[in-house]
């Protein structure tokens, strides 16, 4: 009789231990599923799909800090492209300069005014001269704010009788501002200065 009760008690303990172990496994499994589901949802929210030409292209959202170097370099390249890419057309020059001046402070406006007063743009129009840039390097120091940059490129100036290649080195600082349609990266170039701009090659046409 006592042996039977003992066996029942032992069996009850085994069942209870098994139940507790099973419950713990279920809780751990549920927790694991919840965590993985949360991570999946987070990754899904970072995905952006852009519809272009009838095709869905996947893009990924990223924090502002992660994109600072790439956005800063593109902002600097865009500014210099608009400021120095010129054709013998007054409206085209004004359109490019207008876009460039949205990306920089009064230091760029001052350089533009000096060039205009010295007849630089008038000479481009009257001489049927075109000008373009080839970027060599853009270095941005994001360790200190505002971010210092140095831009190196070659100016290709095409005249009726010759093609002149000039070196161009500028520097300045980048300050964060609010993004807009005219300034999609949310940077403003400050204290912009031309360090070097000299002929390195002249070719007759």
* Secondary structure class of 74 (helix, strand, coil): helix
For the four alpha carbons of 74, 100, 181 and 149, in that order, the dihedral sign comes to: positive
pLDDT digit string, tens, across residues 36-65 = 777 766 665 656 666 555 665 555 555 556
Residue 5 is predicted with a pLDDT of 47
CATH of domain 64-204: 3.10.450.230
48: β partners: 59
pLDDT digit string, tens, across residues 77-102 = 999 999 999 999 999 999 999 999 99
pLDDT digit string, tens, across residues 111-136 = 999 999 999 999 999 999 999 999 99
pTM value > 0.85: no
Residue 58 is predicted with a pLDDT of 57
Rounded-to-integer distance, Cα 138 and Cα 186, Å:
18
Say if CB 147 and CB 141 are below 8 A apart: yes
Say if CB 190 and CB 145 are below 8 A apart: no
Least confident span in 65-69, 146-150, 159-163, 200-204: 65-69
Residue 21 is predicted with a pLDDT of 79
Structural domain boundaries in the chain: 2-48, 64-204
Residue 161 is predicted with a pLDDT of 92
Residue 177 is predicted with a pLDDT of 93
């Amino acid at each position: 009789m006592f042996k039977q009760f003992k066996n029942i008690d032992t069996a009850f303990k085994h069942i209870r231990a098994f139940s507790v172990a099973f419950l713990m496994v279920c809780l751990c499994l549920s927790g694991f599923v919840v965590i993985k589901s949360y991570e999946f949802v987070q990754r899904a929210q970072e995905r952006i799909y852009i519809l272009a030409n009838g095709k869905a292209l996947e893009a990924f959202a990223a924090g502002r800090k992660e994109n600072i170097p790439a956005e800063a370099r593109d902002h600097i390249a865009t500014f210099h492209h608009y400021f120095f890419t010129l054709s013998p057309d007054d409206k085209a020059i004004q359109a490019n300069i207008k876009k460039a001046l949205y990306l920089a402070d009064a230091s760029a406006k001052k350089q533009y005014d000096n060039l205009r007063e010295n007849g630089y743009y008038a000479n481009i129009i009257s001489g049927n001269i075109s000008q373009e840039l080839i970027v060599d390097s853009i270095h941005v120091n994001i360790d200190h704010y505002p971010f210092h940059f140095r831009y190196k490129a070659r100016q290709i100036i095409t005249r009726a009788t010759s093609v002149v290649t000039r070196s161009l080195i500028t520097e300045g600082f980048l300050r964060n501002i609010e993004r807009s349609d005219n300034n999609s990266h949310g940077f403003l170039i400050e204290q912009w200065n031309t360090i070097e701009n000299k002929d390195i090659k002249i070719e007759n046409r």
